[in-house]
Chains A and B, each alone.
Chain A
């Protein structure tokens, strides 16, 4: 019996890449470990969601157990807590993903030397706890499970097959470069300049960038050690560029500190920890993920090539954004430096690092390079989408179009805010409606981007954005589905 079908056959699937296999299901204690880790005294939140000049204090609020809704859940509210089945972007717009990403970055960055600029004696206990045995041991137990949760879906979304050669890879890369004009990112930087309050929008953008830029090259520095011959030496040239050749004022993270200070922001790492989007944290985590485990060194090289090839274009857009908002005298050295040096870095990554690495280490290395390039592209897209969503939400908040007439809604959650208190940042998994039942409160979408809501006011929150609530006089509120 035969008939027309869509594929040749159901063959034996090709073997999964060794690194793409998901871990076995986590053992039962993982959630208890996570809760124990996150409830450590060091990680308790304050209502400001700021941590000025103290890189050890990182609020890790545990997401609440989803409240039982008073009505049957709607289909779009199916829990997005199973990344093995949920679309990756949907999963990243969940409270659980925000929490997981915060914890994972906290664990990764214990490998970095982070010191406050002032009052170290007063912060010494925090310093000792952050790098101490208790958090280190528990973090090492948790980390592989978080990595499987967050990066398993990314790995499974990409397949490499067939016989690749360097010349084919070069064709693939040149095709990418020819077609990449960073339009999506350009739309984001343009959007920043056109919001009703562009200064706040610019601060939002730079706060998200600061997550990685203030510790720039730290993740890649993990690959500086060891012994892998000429490839190591070539990679080190890129790293020393990032570090300003040992001259502090030219170190890239120093240049970015000046950018932050020029727009009135604090420039110590993670001062705005509570304000990071899930997609921002995911991006930072990804580069740590591939750099921390040296079995992923070739994947890292592919991601490096992708980033260096894109950053020279996106930095040009960022410089234009800075000048549009701050005027022609804007502090843009960080961006112009990258527009220049990343032309060299992308060439060096392809010709001086990847090409000899493939010649020496063979086709498996090339498959990993490809995988890293594609993963980095996907992560970059997710990051850009996260920025675009949040900016649209900020615009609606600033111009008042997010306010809507109250109407019948399926209420998901009722809560109260004591006078002078604030909520955590929530992630709206799907469109939500927030109504002030009693009192008054303020909705905050980003640092300094907020709107006061009097009693009875209703505000629509689009899917996939973060927001927090605070009240000076106390309030009762309800969160409902966005649609009646």
Chain B
């Protein structure tokens, strides 16, 4: 649990991208946007904190948007990218620098992500599909 009396300070987290696609920071969740890239975005809906890793994807006038499963809020991907965490990736190794509340537990792990797009997998889903293959 984060201690509110300890101010947020930059903390460096090492992530192996072969093993993790998300960071849990206390009660917050951050997700790597692409299976092989370093863009790490907040995965809580800015409306009421809904779980964007369970969102559906649509394409509209705003470009790609995530539709939050709680209230249907459209969250433009580019807005998430603007709030991306500072990261640097070299090969499979990512170093992320988060201004985390003091004492907040930070865990890098792999979580299943639930996105509706065109009926194909966007990565290594639990069903073991290859990227781009039809989902069953």
Contacts and interface: CB of A to CB of B under 8 A. Distances in A.
B12 A9 contact: no
Contact of A161 (B9, B21, B87): B87
A47 to B, nearest CB: 40
Contact of B113 (A7, A14, A165): A7
Contacts of B117: 9-10
A68 interface: no
Interface in B42-62: 43, 52-53, 55-57
Contact of A162 (B35, B86, B91): B86
Contacts of A170: 10
Contacts, number: 147
Most buried by B among A5, A167, A168, A175: A5
Contacts of B23: none
A222 interface: no
A8 B41 contact: yes
A171 B10 contact: yes
Nearest to A2: B116
A7 B35 contact: yes
Contacts of B12: 171-172, 175
Nearest to A371: B88
Nearest to A178: B12
B6 interface: no
B113 to A, nearest CB: 5
Contact of A5 (B85, B87, B125): B125
Nearest to B126: A4
B121 interface: yes
Nearest to A11: B77
Interface in A152-191: 157-165, 167-172, 175
Interface residues of B, number: 55
Nearest to B116: A2
Interface string A12-33: 1110000000000000000000
B116 A4 contact: no
A172 B88 contact: yes
A1 B135 contact: yes
Report whether over half of chain B's contact residues are helix, strand or loop; otherwise say mixed.
Answer: mixed
Nearest to A171: B10
Contacts of B78: 11-12
A378 B99 CA distance: 26
A371 B131 CA distance: 29
Given A158-B89, A164-B86, A7 B10 contact: no
Given A8-B43, A8-B113, A9-B117, A163 B84 contact: yes
Interface string A283-307: 0000000000000000000000000
Interface string B82-121: 0011111111000111010000000000001111110101
Given A6-B122, A9-B117, A11-B77, A162 B39 contact: yes
Contacts of A10: 34, 117, 122
Interface of A: 1-14, 157-165, 167-172, 175, 370-371, 374, 377-378
Given A2-B116, A374-B90, 10 more contacts: A3-B125, A3-B127, A5-B114, A8-B53, A9-B77, A11-B39, A14-B39, A160-B89, A170-B10, A171-B97
